[in-house]
C-alpha cells in the first residue's frame, strides 16, 4: 500500500509529480481539486510561462496572490487574463490549442478509460458519482491528459463500469475510429506510482514507483495483469522548494494533508 | 421604457417556476449560484422539476433533497470541495431520479442550440464515451461536408433560467461580471428569466456599460432584490466563497434526517429578503467581505 514519509505527504508527492508533467510555455486546462495546486506549483517553479485555462471561463497566466480552494474563488478571477464564457474556453480546447489537462477519477482501466459517473453500471448503480464535469471534454480534446487518483484494486479494473472520459478505448487505433481528433492519457499518477501508456497498444505500463513502494505492491492493487516498463524508475521526492510553494498555497493542508 | 419587473422573490418563483417546468440554474458554475432562489423553490415545494446546469455545486443536491425534482440534465452534481453529494446519491441509487448525463461542453452546446433556435449543435467531444447510453440527446452523425464523425447535441430550451447578478435595474437590465459560464446561452435559450440581484440600481448605471449586460432586458420576466442571494458561492465585487458552509453541508446531508435539520435551519426560517443576512450574522458576513478592492478602469462609450 501507499508508503508515507516523514517529510512530506502522499498528496504533496502526487501534486509535485503532476506539476512536473507541465512544460514551460504550455497551455494547461486546469481541473478542480489537486490539479489547482499542481498548476500553481508549476507556475511558481519550472513553468513560469504556462497559461492556465479553467472551465468556468477563466484564463490566467500568473499564480493567484493568495491560496484558493476552488477555481471560482475570487483570487483566481482577480487579474485574470480573460474572463469569458465556458463556450469560449471549450472552443480553444476543441480547436486543439490546449497542450495538457488534468483530471481525477474513481475508476480507471488498462486502456486509461475513466469512470466518474456510476459504480456498478448505469442500470442499477451501486454508487452514483458526480459525473463528467469537464473531464470528458479534456480527455476527448486536449493534446494529452494526466489522471490523478488513489491506487486501489477496486479502482484499477480491467474495464470501467461506465466510460465517462475516453482513454484509449479498447486499444490502439480506437480513438481515431470513434472520431476523437487527438489526445489520450499520457500518465496516471497514483498513490503508488506513475503509469504511462504504450504508444501502439494504448495499454497502461508501470513506469515509476513512489519511494518505498514495490512492484508487488502495485500488482496486488491492480485488477489486471499490468505491464511493467523495462526500467522502472523511482518517483523523485518533492524538493524543499516545491514543498515550500505547496505549503504557501495550501497552508491548512486542505488538499495535501495526510 | 417598459413597466417595472420588480417582484419579491416568492412571487417571482410562484409565477415563473410552475410545477413540472424546466429550470436552468447555477450557470456561472461555481460562482453567482442563485442559492436564495433555489431555497424559495424548496419552500414552495415545487414538484416534478427538470434541473439544467453544468456544475451546480451543492444547490441541485438541496433541491433534489426537498423532493422537487424529477429529472436532472447536468454534467456534474456534487459539492466542489468535498465531492459526492448525498441527496443526489440517495435519489439516483433509490431509483427516484431521472438523469441525462452531459459533459460541460455537451451541455453548453445543448443550451447554445436552444439559444440559436436550431435543433442541435455539433461537437467533437464525448465520442466513444458512455454518455451516449445515459443521454438520448446525444447522437453520432457524419458531417455533411467532411464526413467526420461528430457528436450531435440536442437543443435544450428551458422554461426558466434563474441567474444571480451583482446589479440590475427594475426593467431587467443587469450587469454580471466575473467568469460567465453558460449564463448567456442559458438566458437566450430560456422562455423566462428570473434575475436575483445584490443591488437594484438606476437604468443609467446599467446603460453606462452595455458590454457588461448579461442578456437583453426585454427577455427578462422578473427582477428580485436579494442581497446575499448567492451565498455561500462567491459573488465578485461583493463577497468571497464561504468554504465553511460547503464543508458543513457535507456532514449536514449524510442522512435524510440530517438534511431535514439542515433545511429547517437554513431554508425554512427565511421568509423575507432580510431574513437570510440576519441568519448569517454580522460576524460571518464580515469574514466574507472583500479584503481589498481592485477596480477596473472606466471605458469611454462617448461619441
Residues of A with a known catalytic role:
55
Give pLDDT tens digits for A212-240.
999 999 999 999 999 999 999 999 999 99
Same fold yes or no, A1-98+236-258 and A101-233: yes
Please tell me which residue of chain A has the smallest CA distance to B95.
A124
Residue to test with chain B: of A77, A86, A184, most B Cβ within 10 A: A86
Does residue A255 carry a pLDDT above 60? yes
Which of chain B's residues have a Cβ under 8 Å away from the Cβ of A127? 84, 89, 93
The predicted structure's pLDDT at residue A122: 87
Which of chain A's residues have a Cβ under 8 Å away from the Cβ of B95? 124
Give pLDDT tens digits for B123-181.
999 999 999 999 999 999 999 999 999 999 999 999 999 999 999 999 999 999 999 99
CA distance B188 to chain A (A): 13
Give pLDDT tens digits for A179-191.
999 999 999 999 9
Nearest CB among B106, B150, B179 relative to A58 is that of B179
Please tell me which residue of chain B has the smallest CA distance to A137.
B125
| Average pLDDT of the segment spanning B82-97 | 93
Determine the CATH number of domain B9-280.
Answer: 3.40.1080.10
Distance CA A232, CA A217 (A): 14
Model confidence pTM above 0.90? yes
Nearest CB among B95, B131, B148 relative to A132 is that of B131
CA distance B3 to chain A (A): 30
Q: Which CATH architecture has domain A101-233?
A: 3-Layer(aba) Sandwich (3.40)
Where in chain A are the domains?
Answer: 1-98+236-258, 101-233
Please tell me which residue of chain B has the smallest CA distance to A141.
B125
Does residue A123 carry a pLDDT above 90? no
Determine what percent of chain A is predicted with pLDDT higher than 70: 100
Nearest CB among B93, B123, B128 relative to A128 is that of B93
Please tell me which residue of chain A has the smallest CA distance to B29.
A56
The reply to whether residue B131 touches residue A136, judged by beta carbons under 8 angstroms, is: yes
Where in chain B are the domains?
Answer: 9-280
Q: Which CATH number fits domain A1-98+236-258: 3.40.1080.10, 3.50.50.60, 3.40.50.1370, 3.40.50.300?
A: 3.40.1080.10
Per the model's pLDDT, the better-predicted residue between B52 and B273 turns out to be B52
The reply to whether residue A133 touches residue B234, judged by beta carbons under 8 angstroms, is: no
The predicted structure's pLDDT at residue A1: 61
Determine what percent of chain A is predicted with pLDDT higher than 90: 92
Give pLDDT tens digits for B235-283.
999 999 999 999 999 999 999 999 999 999 999 999 988 899 999 999 9
Amino acid at each position: 500500500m501507499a508508503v508515507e514519509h516523514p517529510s512530506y505527504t502522499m498528496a504533496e508527492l502526487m501534486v509535485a509529480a503532476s506539476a512536473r508533467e507541465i512544460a514551460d510555455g504550455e497551455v494547461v486546462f486546469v481541473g478542480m481539486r489537486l490539479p489547482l495546486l499542481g498548476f500553481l506549483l508549476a507556475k511558481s517553479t519550472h513553468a513560469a510561462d504556462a497559461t492556465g485555462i479553467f472551465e468556468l471561463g477563466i484564463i490566467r497566466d500568473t499564480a493567484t496572490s493568495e491560496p484558493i480552494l476552488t477555481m471560482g474563488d475570487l483570487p483566481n478571477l482577480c487579474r485574470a487574463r480573460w474572463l469569458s464564457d465556458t463556450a469560449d474556453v471549450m472552443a480553444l480546447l476543441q480547436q486543439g490549442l490546449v497542450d495538457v489537462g488534468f483530471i481525477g477519477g474513481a475508476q480507471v482501466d488498462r486502456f486509461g478509460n475513466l469512470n466518474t459517473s456510476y459504480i456498478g453500471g448505469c442500470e442499477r448503480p451501486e454508487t452514483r458519482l458526480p459525473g463528467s464535469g469537464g473531464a470528458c471534454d479534456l480527455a476527448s480534446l486536449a493534446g494529452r491528459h494526466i489522471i490523478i487518483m488513489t491506487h486501489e484494486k477496486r479502482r484499477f479494473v480491467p474495464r470501467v463500469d461506465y466510460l465517462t472520459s475516453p482513454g484509449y478505448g479498447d486499444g490502439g487505433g480506437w480513438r481515431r475510429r470513434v472520431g476523437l481528433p487527438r489526445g489520450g492519457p499520457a500518465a496516471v499518477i497514483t498513490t503508488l506510482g506513475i503509469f504511462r501508456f504504450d504508444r501502439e497498444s494504448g495499454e497502461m505500463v508501470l513506469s515509476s514507483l513512489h519511494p518505498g513502494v514495490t512492484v508487488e505492491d502495485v500488482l496486488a492493487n491492480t485488477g489486471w495483469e499490468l505491464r511493467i516498463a523495462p526500467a522502472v524508475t523511482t518517483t523523485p521526492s518533492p524538493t524543499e522548494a516545491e514543498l515550500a510553494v505547496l505549503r504557501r498555497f495550501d497552508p491548512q493542508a486542505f488538499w495535501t494533508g495526510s | 421604457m417598459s413597466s417595472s419587473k420588480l417582484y419579491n422573490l416568492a412571487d417571482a418563483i410562484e409565477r415563473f417556476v410552475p410545477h413540472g417546468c424546466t429550470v436552468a440554474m447555477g450557470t456561472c458554475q461555481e460562482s453567482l449560484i442563485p442559492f436564495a432562489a433555489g431555497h424559495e423553490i424548496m419552500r414552495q415545494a415545487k414538484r416534478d422539476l427538470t434541473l439544467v446546469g453544468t456544475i451546480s455545486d451543492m444547490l441541485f443536491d438541496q433541491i433534489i433533497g426537498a423532493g422537487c425534482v424529477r429529472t436532472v440534465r447536468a454534467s456534474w452534481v456534487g459539492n466542489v470541495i468535498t465531492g459526492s453529494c448525498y441527496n443526489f446519491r440517495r435519489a439516483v441509487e433509490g431509483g427516484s431520479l431521472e438523469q441525462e448525463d452531459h459533459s460541460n461542453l455537451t451541455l453548453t452546446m445543448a443550451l447554445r442550440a436552444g439559444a440559436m433556435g436550431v435543433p442541435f449543435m455539433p461537437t467533437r467531444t464525448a465520442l466513444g464515451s458512455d454518455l451516449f447510453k445515459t443521454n438520448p440527446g446525444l447522437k453520432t452523425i457524419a458531417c455533411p461536408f467532411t464526413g467526420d464523425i461528430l457528436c450531435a447535441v440536442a437543443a435544450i430550451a428551458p422554461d426558466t433560467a434563474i441567474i444571480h447578478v451583482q446589479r440590475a435595474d427594475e426593467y431587467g437590465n443587469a450587469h454580471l461580471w466575473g467568469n460567465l459560464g453558460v449564463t448567456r446561452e442559458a438566458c437566450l435559450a430560456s422562455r423566462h428569466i428570473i434575475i436575483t440581484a445584490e443591488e437594484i440600481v438606476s437604468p443609467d448605471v446599467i446603460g453606462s456599460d452595455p458590454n457588461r449586460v448579461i442578456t437583453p432586458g426585454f427577455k427578462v420576466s422578473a427582477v428580485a432584490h436579494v442581497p446575499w442571494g448567492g451565498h455561500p458561492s462567491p459573488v465578485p465585487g461583493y463577497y468571497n466563497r464561504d468554504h465553511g458552509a460547503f464543508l458543513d453541508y457535507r456532514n449536514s446531508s449524510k442522512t435524510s434526517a440530517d438534511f431535514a435539520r439542515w433545511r429547517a435551519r437554513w431554508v425554512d426560517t427565511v421568509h423575507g429578503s432580510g431574513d437570510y443576512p440576519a441568519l448569517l450574522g454580522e460576524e460571518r458576513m464580515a469574514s466574507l467581505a472583500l479584503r481589498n478592492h481592485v477596480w477596473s478602469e472606466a471605458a469611454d462609450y462617448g461619441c
